[in-house]
Structure 1
Amino acid sequence: MSLKKILFALLVIGITSCKEKPTENNQIANKNETKVVSVDNELAYEKIKPLNLDSHYTNLLDPRNTTETELKKAMKAWSEFHKNVSEFIKSEKFDWEVPDSTITVVNKIYFSKKGTVDYYTFKIMNETVTPEKKEAYEKVLQKFSEKVKIDLERDEQYAQCGKIKYVNY
């Protein structure tokens, strides 16, 4: 597949997954604590929904908000961020305790201007993953999000949706 086709596919995903433009100068994250929330944790998820995060964070890959050069840098940073998540989970010796060969997670991550994680929402798609493992994964992501940032700074807060598949060793 050509680079242009890959870029186009990522652009379509980015545009359709996080459409709203942020409101001006509206920073809502508590800078002392990253919020990591499973969509399945209805109580916690309902607490952040009223924040209307999509209206405060621009879409990372929206071509209306970035040049082609910035887009390439953003795509590289996004890919590297997910590689770092995967490596962190492995370093924590996290065990999904399911027979599935891969674990699919859909996520939406909200970043500060400096690239730190403000909010990290996710949904584990594998039905075999227990609620206890989902909670344990949330704790690992919390630990990761407090230590690691995406290698990308912007003039405004930004967000990105995505899907990642972890190999289940």
Structure 2
Amino acid sequence: MQPKITILVFGFLLYFTCSSSAQKIAMSFEEAANQGVPFEHLDSLYKSAVHSDKDLAVFKSPDEQAKLRRAYAQMLHDLGIFLKENNFHWETQVRSFNRIYFNADGAVDYFLYNFAPEQISTEKEREFKQLLHLFVQHYSFPLKAGEKFAQCSPVKYLDR
């Protein structure tokens, strides 16, 4: 029986510009900045998956954007299943913001996250980071593009 996981994705952001040679890294926004790879730098290297100006987007048509939304939601759902299969429990609803940088083949280069203040203990975040790192090592986004791209969104994680 497949475990039930609910991850609510809100506000598919349209203004996101993000390309870099990276190795599958999962870390908080703060860690990325401290390690010399702030999101502003990554944003200058990766093209936006979607954008209000279609010329600046990787996925331009409404059909491509709909496929992207479905694939992105499925990726977050798959992450939830992976976490549950690895005995990770949120214990309560947790808010986060993710910015994910993909190579042209759909592999994750960087998965940056930021939890809302006081949403998660240091130990729970450490456990999440370890599992997220394992997840991005093997996960491939189902959509491919001719170039590196990025997508972001606020997320609510919770156990079901």
Query: Which category of TM-score, normalised to the shorter sequence, fits these structures?
Result: 0.7 to 0.9
Distance in 2 (alpha carbons) for counterparts of 1:146 and 1:139:
11
Consecutive unaligned residues in structure 1, runs of 5 or more: 1-8
* Kept after mapping to 2: 8 A contact 1:36/1:120: yes
**Is the aligned partner of 1:159 residue 2:150?**
yes
- Give the whole-Å Cα distance in 2 for the aligned partners of 1:61 and 1:84: 22
Partners of 1:86 and 1:80 lie apart in 2 by 10
Say which structure, 1 or 2, has more relative contact order (CA 8 Å, 6+ apart).
2
Q: Distance in 2 between matches of 1:40 and 1:131?
A: 14
Does structure 1 residue 68 correspond to structure 2 residue 62? yes
Of the candidates 106, 126, 137, which is equivalent to residue 128 of structure 2?
Answer: 137
Residues 168, 126 of structure 1: alpha-carbon distance in 2 compared, 3 angstrom cutoff = farther
- Larger % of strand: which? 2
CA contact (8 A) 1:37 1:45 kept: no
- What is the TM-score normalised by the length of structure 2? 0.80
The structure 1 residue matched to 2:94, chosen from 90, 95, 103, is 103
Give me the whole-angstrom Cα distance separating, in 2, the residues matched to 1:74 and 1:128: 28
1:28 and 2:20 correspond: yes
* 2:152 aligned partner, one-letter code: C
1:39 is displaced (CA, Å) by 2.5
| Aligned position for 2:33 | 45
> How has the CA–CA distance of structure 1 residues 84 and 50 changed in structure 2, closer, same or farther, with 3 Å as cutoff?
closer
The question of whether the paired residues in 2 share the 8 Å contact of 1:61 and 1:75 is answered with: no
Question: What SS is found at the alignment partner of 1:150?
Answer: coil
> Are residues 89 and 157 of structure 1, via their aligned partners in 2, closer, same or farther at CA, if it must alter by over 3 Å?
same
**Larger radius of gyration between Structure 1 and Structure 2:** 1
Runs of 4+ in 1 over 3 A off after TM superposition: none
TM-score (normalizing by structure 1): 0.76
Q: Which runs of 5+ in 2 are unaligned?
A: 1-10
